[in-house]
Structures are given as C-alpha cells and as structure tokens.
Amino acid sequence: QLQLNESGPGLVKPSETLSLTCSVSGGSTSSNLYYWAWIRQPPGRGLEWIGVIYYIGTTYYNPSLKSRVTISVDTSKNHFSLRLTSVSAADTAVYYCARVPYSSGWYGWLDLWGQGTLVTISS
C-alpha cells in the first residue's frame, strides 16, 4: 500500500524559505505512471494547488506562485520536495503532498494524499 508522508519545519520566519519533503513508501517516485503534487490549505480555508512534477523532472506550477516555487524529485531517495521562497504569513497552511495518475494528465485528479503538515510563518 503506497503511502505519502510530509516532513519539514513547522515554523518558518517571514522572508525565509519554506522547505518540505514528501517521502514515498510502498511505491516509487521513478514510476512513469504518476505525477507527484503539492497542495496547501490555509487554516479554516479551501484548497490551493501548488504544482506537480514528473519523475524526469518536468514541472508545472500555479501561475500565482510560480516565481517563488520549486518542486524537485530525488528518485534515489524516493522522495520529492517543495521549496517556497520569501514566505509571509499568507503562506501559513497545511501542506499536502499527493499523487496524480499519469493517464489523467498533470492537471488531473489526486488519487492519494499524505496526511498533511502544518507550516506556520511567524517570527
């Protein structure tokens, strides 16, 4: 049973860089059958799609975050990562990693999610 698990600092200072990792167990990030995605949810609010990556490194990002976001994949460690630069309080959210079936397209449905990790932006 494939599982996704987010990890990283729970507290980041304003203007610094948020970095999270999603570890994949029971499956492989080098699979050509899936994209790997990041989504976030501010407390008490709705979902926001951040971006996705394919195992060969192809990425697609939310246009509103594109200038600050980098998603990368390390198939040797079987994980993928999110970097968000110049963060502010507006970036406080639960960050989820998830999987997208390749057959649905990079913009497709998210068939498996991690449990999420809360990142608070505060000094």
Partner 1 sequence: SYVLTQPPSVSVAPGQTARITCGGNNIGSQSVHWYQQKPGQAPVVVVHDDRDRPSGIPERFSGSNSGNTATLTISRVEAGDEADYYCQVWDPSSDHVLFGGGTKLTVL
Give contact residues for partner 1 (rule: CB under 8 A): 46-49, 60, 62-63, 96, 104-105, 107-111, 113-116
Return the amino acid letter for 96. Answer: Y
In the bound state with partner 1, the residue whose beta carbon lies nearer, of 46 and 76, is: 46
In the bound state with partner 1, the residue whose beta carbon lies nearer, of 9 and 109, is: 109
Return the amino acid letter for 92. Answer: T
Q: Do the beta carbons of residue 48 and residue 115 sit within 8 Å? A: no
The β-bridge partners of 37 are: 52, 98
Q: Do the beta carbons of residue 88 and residue 18 sit within 8 Å? A: no
In the bound state with partner 1, the residue whose beta carbon lies nearer, of 75 and 106, is: 106
Q: Which two tokens stand for residue 102?
A: 């390749």
Minimal distance, residue 78 CB to partner 1, in Å: 20
Minimal distance, residue 93 CB to partner 1, in Å: 13
